[in-house]
Amino acid sequence: MRKKHHLLIISVVSFLGLIFVGTLIFSHIEKWPLIDSFFYTTMTVTTIGYGDLVPTHDLSKIITSVFAMVSIPVALFLFGLLAEDILETRLGHFEKKVHEIISREKEIEKELEQTE
């Protein structure tokens, strides 16, 4: 569990760092306001890509390609860890409820056997 927690922290920090650095780079090269650069970076990392902002300089096109190849796997890894954590938590609650129901059924069966 500790290793998983460590991976989650590293993934979140990496993801946020990539968003931050990407925002600054695209703002500088494309001369976009920070909010537009943040929007472009987020849309690239999440592969949504509305297309309303596009790189216009050759350098930013190259950086976008490299940025996407690095940041998309980081984002997918992070989202996978989060989904796994959520599912394990839900599954744990479900298993606990199932065990409670089975235990209660066994108690009822014993009570019924005693009354017969």
Tens of pLDDT, residue by residue over 61-109, are: 999 999 999 999 999 999 999 999 888 888 878 888 888 888 888 888 8
Q: What is the pLDDT of residue 102?
A: 87
Please give the Cα distance from 72 to 49 (Å, whole number). Answer: 12
Domains and CATH numbers, the chain: 2-88 (1.10.287.70)
Say if residue 20's pLDDT is above 70: yes
Give yes or no for a contact between 24 and 37, defined as CB atoms under 8 angstroms apart: yes
- pTM (2 d.p.): 0.75
